[in-house]
Amino acid sequence: MKMLSRKTSCDSHGQDSSYFLGWQEYEKNPYDAVQNPSGIIQMGLAENQLSFDLLESWIAENPDAVGLKRNGESIFKELALFQDYHGLPAFKNELVDFMSKIRRNKVKFDPKKLVLNAGATSANETLMFCLADPGDAFLLPVPYYPGFDRDLKWRTGVEIVPIQCSSSNGFKITAPALEEAYMQAQNLGLKVKGVLITNPSNPLGTTTTRSELNDLIDFIAAKGIHMVCDEIYSGTVFDSSSFVSITEALTDRKLEYTQVWNRIHIVYSLSKDLGLPGFRVGMIYSNNETVVSAAIKMSSFGLVSSQTQYLLSRILSDKKFTSKYLKTNQKRLRKRKELLVSGLKNADIKCLKSNAGLFVWVDMRHLLISDTFEAEKELWKRILFEVGLNVSPGSSCHCSEPGWFRMCFANMSVETLKIAMQRIKAFTDYVSSASDKRKHLALVCNSKTRSLAKWVCQLASSDRERDR
């Protein structure tokens, strides 16, 4: 007699992806400059720690906000007892103002059309529940964030059909690729309910062009389907003038209050732009009243605490601080990204040109023994187990071309990033010096318990001495 549900044995969570497997190996052997200098450096975590000092300074200067006080009086009881599906009005008002500021105030948002969720993960899944039935499909441009296999599919039963994008044009979305994906879904007997994109893109670190957005708008208008725009990296754009929100694109085409307007839905979060993933603050913004109503009801399964909302409303209401934060954060991200790109270039590794995000899309096709995903997997194993870097292979992002990897740069110190670059440089020097590439790749680590290569340990030892 079967005692558990089918969901407990369902493999659609994606936990067996190399994206998650790399995390597991990192957790077994994490790098520490003093305690474990030869450990694995985490470059698979898209976390923004570069401007945390600004947040800590604000907290230190505003003890009443942390102490849950208003005008010096405690409101602990009020916040501890209050919980409303709709969220605190003050927080929602500040949140939509913040969203507008990021978009250079070219568009405005209505707090009544905003639904709070416990992070973007919850927001994306909630939208899937609202827009599609089990067995329906959403089209996603590849490569895409590996977590979408979990967020969009696992509990909802929604299928993902890839929109094939190529390095030949910088992985841009094209009208023919959209039509091809739609036809593929139909051939599979799937009903297409919409398209989902991330803008800026994870893992590419690029912003969607206005031309791409117009092609997408035309496509969903012609097919009568929805579009979900995950814009959680909108505040990480190094050049803010290059970011065009889907709302701005629609407004410029005077599509307000049309059927298309009601089929566009935005996902946002404070996890990336403010570097607060632990606060679990995400949201859905939609002009569709039915979607908003249903999403509010569903939000009871993933509410944001009143205490969190109060603290963040105080932070966001400080306009001088948020302006300084966004400007400083963008400068720091650009500088750190350039440091990574420079280090990779020194190792004869190129990257896709990017202007946003917490990562770069790295081209290691020249290091593959063959143009196959099996070769990519073997290279990934070497980088993980011997070089000691947890990076995300393109196959985990469903990239159609083997040899691309995502590397994150904002979750570590400058010193740690430099060590990572020293390791990758030593690795590529070793590879290039090998007279027979096949021989060198035959040394690929087949055992997960294999120790790091000797040259990595030597690097770690010398770095430790320098740090001291």
| Active site members | 145, 230, 232, 272
User: Which helix (DSSP H) or strand (DSSP E) does residue 242 occupy?
Assistant: none
Q: Where are the alpha helices (DSSP H) in 232-318?
A: 246-252, 289-298, 306-317
Q: What is the DSSP string of 33-67?
A: TTTBTTSBEE-S-----TTHHHHHHHHHH-HHHHT
Give the residue among 345, 335, 334 at the shortest CA–CA distance from 421: 345
The Cα-based distances of 246 to 24, 199, 234, 249, 263 in angstroms read 36, 9, 11, 5, 12
Cis amide prior to 143 (ω within 30 degrees)? yes
Angle between helices 18-28 and 373-381 (to 10 degrees): 10
Residues 115 and 292: beta-carbon distance below 8 Å: yes
C-alpha torsion sign, points 357, 179, 283, 24:
negative
**Distance between CA atoms of 50 and 55, rounded to whole angstroms?**
10
Burial class (CB in 10 A: 0-12, 13-18, 19+), 153: buried
What beta strand segments (E) does 107-216 contain? 114-117, 137-141, 159-163, 192-198
User: Which helix (DSSP H) or strand (DSSP E) does residue 75 occupy?
Assistant: none
C-alpha torsion sign, points 355, 356, 359, 363:
negative
Q: Where are the alpha helices (DSSP H) in 351-444?
A: 373-381, 414-433, 437-441
Parallel, antiparallel, or unpaired for β 114-117 and 159-163? Answer: unpaired
